Amino acid sequence: MSNFSSVYWTQFIAIALIGLGMVGFLIRRNAIVVLMSIELMLNGVNLLLIEAAHRSGSADGTMLVVFIITIAAGEVAVGLGILLNLYRIKHSSDTELYKELQG
Amino acid sequence: MMMPLLLAAPLIGAIVNGLILRPATAKRAGVIASIAALTSFASVMVQHFAPDAGPFEWTWFTVGELTVKWSFASDPLTWMMCAVVTGIGSLIHIYSIGYMSHEHNAYRYFAYLNFFLFNMLVLITSTSLLGMFVGWEGVGLCSYLLIGYWFEDINKAKAGMKAFIVNRIGDAGFLIGIFICYQLFKTLNFAEIAKLLDTQTFDVRMLNLAAFFLFIGAMGKSAQIPLYVWLPDAMAGPTPVSALIHAATMVTAGIYLICRMNGLFLVAQDTSLFIAIIGISTALLSALIATSQRDIKKVLAYSTVSQLGLMFLALGCGAYLAAIFHVMTHAFFKALLFLGSGSVIHACEGEQDIWKMGGLKKKLPSTFLTFTIGTIAIAGIPPLAGFFSKDMILYSALTAKSYGTTFWILGLLVSFLTAFYMVRVWALTFLGEYRGDKHPHESPATMLIPLYILAFGSIVAGFLGMPEGLHLLPNYLEAFLHPVLGPLVEGHGALSEERAMAVATVSAIIACSLGFYFYSKPERSETPGKILVPFKTVFENKFWVDELYGLVIVKPFDALCAFFAKFFDPNIIDGLVLLPSKAAQGMGSLLVLLQTGIVQTYLLFFVFGLLVLFMVLLKGVVL
Amino acid sequence: MTDGIFIAIGIFTLLCGSSVILCKSPVYSAFSLILSFFGLAGLYILLESPFIAVIQVLVYTGAIVVLFVYVVMLMNPNSSGAYRNWIFMIVSAFLAWAVSLYLLKALTLGVAPAVGGAHALSLKEVATLLFTKYLWPFEILSIFLVVMIVAVFALAKQSKETPNE
């Protein structure tokens, strides 16, 4: 398991996940899917960190991932709370309609 | 010592009258002003017998190579002009005490009068073109203030403005002339310029150009074509003002300028010829107009313009002495005529139309006597003053280098007309029966004494400059002014001087008789008008010159100003000023399009910025 | 052999990730998210971090995605389509691709050779690290979690005061 020949594969997957998440939050109209895409990006970052920890043998990467997961959880809670409030006013989760700041 | 006193006295008089004391009655203000004027006159007289050591100098400023000094010197020409100005000026100050006795707050009038005297003296005594220009502007200002003295009447105020503006046009020419002179001579001092003209040669065209522009200044100040239109309107001012400024002193400033720069004008032959042509044309034109005017002061105004034209004719022919001689004699009899007319107007309680006068011979005997003397003098009947000076001019025209005979014949015609219209005025005003409805009474002594003095001057002044040919008296004037003006050049003309004098006298007598014949009896007064009906309209309407000016110059100028005021300023200037703000607004409204309100747009820019950041940080890494 | 598994799980994760962003129904997206988290957990195990793999499954799939599904069920689906306009799609695809490439280059620039000594962290080791080296972040994170709870409460409270309809 540790004599893994190419480090590039992991990084490639991680960066691909980041890219996918980026595309996701730019093109989807449903606000919840936007938040999901952000989670996807965070996971890509996690993968990068774990891979770095694995390669260098130090535990720093692992600890950072713990923190990231914690923060992600809190952030999702608050984000979804805001979304629910928005839904109550707008009665829709379409980001096209959240245009109060226009002009 | 005398020189500073000469200048300071009227200035102090003006300040005391105008700023410090401000007396309410004409009598008090007039006494103060007259004392100042008489002080100046006394200092001029003393100056002759105990002359100052040298020019009284004070450096005004130095710019680069030009040093302008405030310097007053007294050479014969200056002395003579000062004597005339202060002498006649003092008489007019005394006269004004009586004339303005009904005015309230006449201190303003006397302050302006004194200030005018000061400026005129600065003009005459200055030794550089620039100092003279200061005095020039000053008298223009005082002229405006005095013409528009009764400014509550809008027409009188407009007359003042007209005088000032037309004068200004001449001043612009004068200034250009000064610039050209500085360019040529690198100095503005009269003595230095005269020396340079003697020793060096200059480009004749440049000299002609300088002379031409200086003449434009003289044109404006001394009312020649085309800048004479202000002088008839200037009769809106009080009559003593007309006498002082527009007969005796200010209008002669132009002639004084040319005489001062006689070295320049002698060499600039083309410009001199031009001056002569303008002079005789002006003389003829205004003489024709004067024959049909109704207002007594307007006749005298056009007469002044005509006589000034004769003086410029003399200047154009190089006879500077003749011009100065005529300045002196003209000052006497024109001031006399103006003050006399002022006395008549005062007596008729403001009436100025000669057709409403008449028969004043019995009611105003002193005025009648002095006015008659003035009329004879201006008509050119020997042995009064006008004859000798006018003869000197006509003879110098006859002996001029070119067009001598033409000038002489036209000059003769002008003299004929002068005699004719002056007798007309005299007859209509004093002879026959009184046609008006007022109660004329003789004027007070303060007004009559100056009249007598001036009448005496009109009789004897001519004897100062008698021609050599008559072998009666030496030509005092020529001897006196010889250092400045050079000798009187004896030329050769078609006639000898004696014959020319005889012809002139005969024509003057014929003109007087004609005028007397027609206008002494009321039934014949209308006849000249009926004979020359088409001309009468033209003359009466002053050849419509004012209307022409209004159409050709004033209207387009008004249109130009309207264009600027209504279109150019609000649209273009304001547009330029508002341009930055409108540009900012435009940019703002463009940028607002970026604010869609949708979060994902902002996230797009976010990512784009991230990309740029990467590109900057990882430069060299090709995508 | 492990290479092959690694690649298989990696491709699976990527496919699920694509599905998250491409599915029209948000419920399907949520499901795909779960699957991709599982894939990632597998990858973590293959990278000798079983601890993190378990935490991933517990916290991410067990709590976060559940929350997502709850909220999805509370909201109506969009009536007017799932994606934004085509300009957005092209631009964002290009941008994402560019950023990804830069990231790839940046990361491969400083790759250190593999050092031995990587071992799976035990729970005891994690705890010790938390309380020694990472004490500060640990404490701050706890404050952070309290703040989050208060924030959620505040949000929930606000929704009660805003009038319905």
Confidence at residue A37, expressed as pLDDT on a 0 to 100 scale: 94
In chain C, residues with a C-beta closer than 8 Å to the C-beta of B596 are none
Confidence at residue C61, expressed as pLDDT on a 0 to 100 scale: 93
Confidence at residue B191, expressed as pLDDT on a 0 to 100 scale: 80
Total domains present in chain A:
1
Which ipTM did the prediction report?
A: 0.88
Beta bridge partners of C80: none
Confidence at residue C80, expressed as pLDDT on a 0 to 100 scale: 66
Query: How does the average pLDDT of chain A come out, rounded?
Result: 87
Which A-chain residues 42-101 have CB contacts (< 8 A) with chain B? Answer: 95-96, 98-101
Of residues B563 and B536, more confidently modeled: B563
pLDDT band per the 50, 70, 90 thresholds, residue B569: confident
Domain boundaries, given as residue ranges, for chain C: 1-79, 121-165
Q: What is the pLDDT of residues B105-160, one digit of tens each?
A: 788 889 999 999 999 988 988 888 888 899 999 999 998 999 888 888 888 888 88
> Cα separation of C46 and C10, whole Å?
11
Examine the pLDDT at C164 and tell me if it is beyond 60.
no
- Whether A65 maps to a domain, the answer reads yes
- Whether A17 maps to a domain, the answer reads no
CA distances from B204 to B196, B266, B268, B466, C155 (A): 14, 11, 7, 35, 100
Reported residue count of chain A is 103
Contact A26 B607 (CB under 8 A): yes
CB B337 within 8 A of CB B371: yes
Query: Rounded to 5 degrees, what are φ and ψ at B330?
Result: -60, -40
> Is C101 in the B-facing interface, judged by CB distances under 8 Å?
yes
The nearest CA of chain C is from the CA of B586 a distance in Å of 26
CB B34 within 8 A of CB B92: no
- C1-79 belongs to CATH 3.30.300.30: no
> Is C91 in the B-facing interface, judged by CB distances under 8 Å?
yes
Contact A103 B597 (CB under 8 A): yes
Examine the pLDDT at A5 and tell me if it is beyond 50.
no
Q: What percent of chain B has pLDDT over 90?
A: 13
Examine the pLDDT at C162 and tell me if it is beyond 80.
no
> Cα separation of B144 and B231, whole Å?
11
> Cα separation of C100 and B293, whole Å?
104
Examine the pLDDT at C160 and tell me if it is beyond 60.
no
Q: What is the pLDDT of residues B412-470, one digit of tens each?
A: 899 999 998 898 888 888 887 777 777 777 777 778 888 888 888 888 887 777 766 66
Confidence at residue C147, expressed as pLDDT on a 0 to 100 scale: 95
Contact A98 B598 (CB under 8 A): yes
Query: How does the average pLDDT of chain B come out, rounded?
Result: 83
Domain boundaries, given as residue ranges, for chain B: 329-540, 547-622
> Cα separation of A28 and B191, whole Å?
98
CA distances from A27 to A30, A39, B484, B598, B611 (A): 9, 15, 103, 12, 18
Taking alpha carbons only, the member of B294, B177, B282, B267 closest to residue B223 is: B282
Contact C55 A66 (CB under 8 A): yes
Contact C106 B614 (CB under 8 A): yes
Interface probe for C, chosen from B608, B613, B622 (most Cβ of C below 10 Å), is B608
Closest partner residue to A102 (CB to CB) among B596, B600, B607 is B596
CB A71 within 8 A of CB C107: no
Burial B564-584 (b: 16+ CB within 10 A, else e): eeeeeeeeeeeeeeeeeeeee
Q: What does DSSP say about strands B56-63 and B66-72: parallel, antiparallel, or unpaired? A: antiparallel
Confidence at residue C13, expressed as pLDDT on a 0 to 100 scale: 95
Q: What is the mean pLDDT of residues B198-212?
A: 86
Find the closest chain A residue to B607 by CA distance.
Answer: A22
Side chain identity, residue B120: M
Contact A99 B592 (CB under 8 A): no
Please name the chains neighbouring A, where neighbouring means 3+ C-beta pairs under 8 angstroms: B, C
Residue B336, C-beta contacts closer than 8 angstroms, at least 6 positions apart: B370, B371, B373, B374, B377, B451, B454, B455, B457, B458
> Cα separation of B492 and B496, whole Å?
8
- The alpha-helical segments, DSSP class H, found in B56-153 are 76-99, 107-125, 129-147
Q: Cis peptide before B383, with omega less than 30 degrees from 0?
A: yes
> Cα separation of B144 and B138, whole Å?
10
Of residues A20 and B484, more confidently modeled: A20
Examine the pLDDT at A3 and tell me if it is beyond 80.
no
Closest partner residue to C101 (CB to CB) among B604, B610, B623 is B623
Find the closest chain A residue to C38 by CA distance.
Answer: A43
CB B109 within 8 A of CB B238: yes
> Cα separation of B433 and B257, whole Å?
46
**Confidence (pTM):** 0.70
CB B432 within 8 A of CB B426: no
Beta bridge partners of B67: B62
- Whether A26 maps to a domain, the answer reads no
Examine the pLDDT at A81 and tell me if it is beyond 80.
yes
Query: Rounded to 5 degrees, what are φ and ψ at B76?
Result: -55, -45
- A vs C: CB pairs below 8 A: 239
In chain B, residues with a C-beta closer than 8 Å to the C-beta of C96 are 607
- Whether A41 maps to a domain, the answer reads yes
Confidence at residue C109, expressed as pLDDT on a 0 to 100 scale: 67
Q: What is the pLDDT of residues B474-531, one digit of tens each?
A: 677 777 777 777 666 666 666 677 777 888 888 888 888 888 877 777 766 677 666 6
Lowest mean pLDDT across B368-382, B456-470, B524-538, B549-563: B524-538
Distance of CA B216 to the CA centre of its chain: 12
The continuous run of DSSP H or E covering B58 comes out as: strand B56-63
Side chain identity, residue B476: Y
pLDDT band per the 50, 70, 90 thresholds, residue C47: confident
The nearest CA of chain C is from the CA of B592 a distance in Å of 19
> Cα separation of B82 and B328, whole Å?
11
> Cα separation of B141 and B171, whole Å?
12
pLDDT band per the 50, 70, 90 thresholds, residue C111: low
Most confident of B352-366, B396-410, C17-31, C119-133: C17-31
Q: What is the pLDDT of residues C63-108, one digit of tens each?
A: 999 999 999 988 877 666 778 888 888 999 999 999 988 888 888 7
Find the closest chain C residue to A5 by CA distance.
Answer: C3
> Is C131 in the B-facing interface, judged by CB distances under 8 Å?
no
The nearest CA of chain B is from the CA of C19 a distance in Å of 20
The nearest CA of chain B is from the CA of A102 a distance in Å of 4
Q: What is the mean pLDDT of residues B361-375?
A: 86
Contact C68 A76 (CB under 8 A): yes
> Cα separation of A45 and B53, whole Å?
108
The nearest CA of chain C is from the CA of A55 a distance in Å of 5
Confidence at residue A4, expressed as pLDDT on a 0 to 100 scale: 47
Closest partner residue to A29 (CB to CB) among C3, C43, C84 is C84
CA distances from B54 to A44, B1, B2 (A): 107, 10, 11
Closest partner residue to C49 (CB to CB) among A7, A62, A82 is A62
Examine the pLDDT at A1 and tell me if it is beyond 50.
no
pLDDT band per the 50, 70, 90 thresholds, residue C142: very high
Q: What is the mean pLDDT of residues B41-54?
A: 75
Q: What is the mean pLDDT of residues B79-90?
A: 88
Which B-chain residues 49-78 have CB contacts (< 8 A) with chain A? Answer: none
Find the closest chain B residue to C96 by CA distance.
Answer: B607
Residue B552, C-beta contacts closer than 8 angstroms, at least 6 positions apart: none
Find the closest chain B residue to A100 by CA distance.
Answer: B597
Q: What is the pLDDT of residues B603-616, one digit of tens each?
A: 999 999 999 998 88
The continuous run of DSSP H or E covering B69 comes out as: strand B66-72
Closest partner residue to A22 (CB to CB) among B595, B597, B607 is B607
Find the closest chain A residue to C7 by CA distance.
Answer: A9
Beta bridge partners of B126: B72
Confidence at residue B473, expressed as pLDDT on a 0 to 100 scale: 66
Of residues B583 and B191, more confidently modeled: B583
Burial B199-214 (b: 16+ CB within 10 A, else e): eeeeeeeebbbbbbbb
Q: What is the mean pLDDT of residues B241-266?
A: 85
In chain B, residues with a C-beta closer than 8 Å to the C-beta of A100 are 597
Query: Rounded to 5 degrees, what are φ and ψ at B288?
Result: -60, -45
Residue B362, C-beta contacts closer than 8 angstroms, at least 6 positions apart: none
Of residues C146 and B236, more confidently modeled: C146
> Is C71 in the B-facing interface, judged by CB distances under 8 Å?
no
Contact A16 C71 (CB under 8 A): no
pLDDT band per the 50, 70, 90 thresholds, residue C165: very low
Query: Rounded to 5 degrees, what are φ and ψ at B70?
Result: -90, 100
- Whether A20 maps to a domain, the answer reads no
